[in-house]
């Protein structure tokens, strides 16, 4: 049984709040959520996308560390696996509670629809979880196993396919112009790397603080550089999306983009997604600085990316569909997450934090000391 | 094999909403859940304006996006043209609700989407859906398009018809008589 540490009280409270939210959802079903027939997907879907994409991004950065052989990144290889698994499980928890009938998931196997993006999501992310478990297992018991190289290569392909398919779930819906098109699968891959790097930086810094030492400067600097590069591209992609959205020919796309930049979502978009999630971290990371600066930027990026997911899910559904020409009951559909949704999202954050902390205590992730980093580096070399 | 469809002559609709109530009674739906609705719109130019009513329900599309996106084939298209939902297979992901271009799906208390069923089971016995039989103005005609002698087939030939949001490529099986056609 892992030992309780004082800092665990905060994620522990979040998990308890999440459990309360889960019970409320089980009792009241859809009525416990702020979603409606007009806005059927809410913050739990956004939260799931956030966790699944961040887990994939962390896994991709771990694979980059694995194959690049860069000494500065060697020590994140094992933590990236366990962190990805922790976040993926938290995401699965969220989506499991959001689904109306999760037990019917058995029909994903017995009655598969290969045309459905959600079917592929279940398939690819289940494989991802399985591969992560295999990689975590071998990282502990037999890091030099020759089959691990093959597993890691399959996992890289699987991660890219899984996260792009996650984007395609939205992108293939022709009825929602804000989501529709090739843009989102690539955008979610990019922002998965951004949020994965941020999650890893936050985890590495907190892990070091937990042990009463400073985080490894080289590791934090390397993660900071990945975040900086991803932030620059994300900022450009966002600017492009907004420009094309506002000047494009589709009225529904224009209205959805306008809702984001100057409508009901504007405050959240500019303050949290752009300001807190993009510009401030960019300014922090552009300057040279220690691990704490990278950690602060990482936390802001994680908050910003969560609201980026929420804004994206909302903007796609807010503009009413034109079913009958000339009929529009509301200018925009409204949606406000309920306490149940916030509690569940917070619970998932707490659960991911505690799962990683417990795995760090229980297994050898190489985060203990500088000497352990050398060992992890040797492991990476042996595996490649 | 029959191939069911519906023709709606919206110009005859008085807006009494008996179709909606009959459907709710038929399927014992709570007041806030309904499988068909009436859309009201303003037509013409001031001062020559009038109100038009357009009944809307599941279009039982031949190319149904709701069935395409369903991960477990809980939503499926029957050979006779009906798009139905197998409640036992539905995982409640709401992907079909998001994908439907007609906004006709609503969630029930069990976390399963609901919509017009074209009264499967009743029509197989030769009965008409209540939304059709209860209408005092015969706004709706339901029948088999493959039967050239059906009332539906005959009515479809009498006047020009159109489909809602046909540009989405869904190939709806609910047709509307063109006004002034």
3-state DSSP of A15-56: HHHHHHHHHHHHHHHHHHCCCCCCCCCCHHHHHHHHHHHHHH
- pLDDT score for A291: 87
| Mutant choice from A38, A173, A256, A324 vs B, greatest count of B C-beta within 10 A | A324
Task: Determine how β-strand B4-8 pairs with β-strand B83-85.
Answer: unpaired
Burial class (CB in 10 A: 0-12, 13-18, 19+), A165: buried
Portion 29-48 of A in contact with B at CB < 8 A: 29-31, 35, 37-38, 40-41
- pLDDT score for A293: 93
Question: Is the bond into B47 cis (omega within 30 degrees of 0)?
Answer: yes
Residues of B in contact with A102 (CB under 8 A): 91-92
Handedness of CA A151, A153, A155, A161 (dihedral sign): negative
- Please list the ranges in chain A whose pLDDT falls under 70: 1-2, 367-384
A123-126 long-range contacts (CB < 8 A, ≥24 apart) are A124/A158, A124/A161, A124/A162, A124/A165, A125/A52, A125/A88, A125/A92, A125/A162, A125/A166
Taking 80 as the threshold, does the pLDDT of residue B176 lie above it?
A: yes
Do B112 and A321 count as a contact with CB atoms less than 8 A apart?
A: no
- pLDDT score for A368: 61
Query: Cβ atoms within 10 A of the Cβ of A279, count?
Result: 15
Domains: count for chain B = 1
Do A119 and B71 count as a contact with CB atoms less than 8 A apart?
A: yes
- pLDDT score for A33: 94
| Mutant choice from B50, B88, B91 vs A, greatest count of A C-beta within 10 A | B91
Partner residue facing A29 (CB), from B40, B100, B109:
B109
How do residues A112-135 score in pLDDT, each as one tens digit? 999 999 999 999 999 999 999 999
- Euclidean distance between CA atoms B179 and B181, whole angstroms: 5
| ipTM for the whole complex | 0.91
- pLDDT score for A384: 28
- Euclidean distance between CA atoms A19 and A13, whole angstroms: 10
* Domain of residue B81, residue span: 4-177
- pLDDT score for B149: 92
3-state percent breakdown (helix, strand, coil) of chain B, nearest 5: 25, 25, 50
Task: Determine how β-strand B75-77 pairs with β-strand B83-85.
Answer: antiparallel
How do residues A261-309 score in pLDDT, each as one tens digit? 999 999 999 999 999 999 999 999 998 778 889 999 999 999 999 999 9
CATH number for the domain spanning B139: value is: 3.30.70.20
Portion 63-122 of A in contact with B at CB < 8 A: 99-102, 104-105, 107-108, 111-113, 115-119, 122
Domains and CATH numbers, chain A: 14-321+329-362 (1.20.1630.10)
- pLDDT score for B39: 93
């Amino acid at each position: 049984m892992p030992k309780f540490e004082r800092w665990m009280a905060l994620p522990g409270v979040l998990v308890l709040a999440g459990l309360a939210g889960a019970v409320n959802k089980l009792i009241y079903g859809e009525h416990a959520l702020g979603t409606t027939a007009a806005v059927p997907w809410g913050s739990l879907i956004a939260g799931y996308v956030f966790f699944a994409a961040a887990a994939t991004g962390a896994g991709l950065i771990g694979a980059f560390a694995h194959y690049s052989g860069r000494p500065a990144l060697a020590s994140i290889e094992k933590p990236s696996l366990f962190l990805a698994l922790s976040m993926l499980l938290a995401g699965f928890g969220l989506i499991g509670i959001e689904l109306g009938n999760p037990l019917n998931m058995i029909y994903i196997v017995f009655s598969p629809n290969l045309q459905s993006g959600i079917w592929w999501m279940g398939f690819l992310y289940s494989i991802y979880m399985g591969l992560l478990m295999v990689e975590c297992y071998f990282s502990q018991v037999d890091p030099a196993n020759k089959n691990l190289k093959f597993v890691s290569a399959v996992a890289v392909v699987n991660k890219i396919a899984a996260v792009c398919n996650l984007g395609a779930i939205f992108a293939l819906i022709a009825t929602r112009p804000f989501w529709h098109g090739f843009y989102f699968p690539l955008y979610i891959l990019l922002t998965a790397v951004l949020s994965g790097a941020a999650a890893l930086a936050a985890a590495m810094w907190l892990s070091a603080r937990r042990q009463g030492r400073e985080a490894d400067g080289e590791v934090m600097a390397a993660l900071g550089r990945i975040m900086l590069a991803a932030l620059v591209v994300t900022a450009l992609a966002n600017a492009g999306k907004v420009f094309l959205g506002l000047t494009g020919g589709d009225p529904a796309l224009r209205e959805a983009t306008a809702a984001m930049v100057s409508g009901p979502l504007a405050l959240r978009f500019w303050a949290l997604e752009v300001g807190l999630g993009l510009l401030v971290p960019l300014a922090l990371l552009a300057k040279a600085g220690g691990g704490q600066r990278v950690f602060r930027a990482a936390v802001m990026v994680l908050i910003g990316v969560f609201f980026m997911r929420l804004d994206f899910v909302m903007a796609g559904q807010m503009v009413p569909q034109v079913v009958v020409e000339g009929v529009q009951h509301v200018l925009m559909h409204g949606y406000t997450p309920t306490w149940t949704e916030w509690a569940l999202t917070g619970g998932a954050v707490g659960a991911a934090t505690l799962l990683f902390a417990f795995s760090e205590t229980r297994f050898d992730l190489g985060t203990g000391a500088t000497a352990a980093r050398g060992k992890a580096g040797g492991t990476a070399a042996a595996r490649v | 094999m029959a191939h069911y469809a519906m023709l709606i002559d919206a110009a005859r609709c008085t807006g009494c909403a008996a179709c909606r109530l009959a459907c709710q009674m038929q399927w014992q739906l709570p007041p806030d859940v309904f499988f068909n609705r009436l859309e009201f719109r303003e037509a013409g130019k001031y001062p020559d304006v009038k109100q038009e009513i357009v009944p809307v329900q599941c279009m039982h599309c031949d190319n149904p996006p709701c069935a395409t996106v369903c991960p477990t084939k809980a939503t499926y298209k029957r050979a006779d043209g009906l798009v139905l939902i197998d409640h036992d297979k539905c995982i409640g992901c709401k992907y079909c609700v998001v994908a439907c271009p007609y906004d006709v799906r609503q969630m029930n208390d069990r976390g399963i989407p609901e919509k017009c069923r074209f009264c499967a089971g009743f029509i197989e016995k030769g009965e008409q859906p209540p939304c059709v039989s209860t209408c005092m103005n015969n706004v709706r005609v339901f029948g088999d398009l493959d039967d050239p002698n059906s009332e539906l087939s005959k009515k479809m030939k009498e006047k020009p018809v159109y489909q809602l949001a046909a540009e989405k490529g869904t190939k709806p099986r609910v047709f509307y008589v063109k006004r002034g056609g």
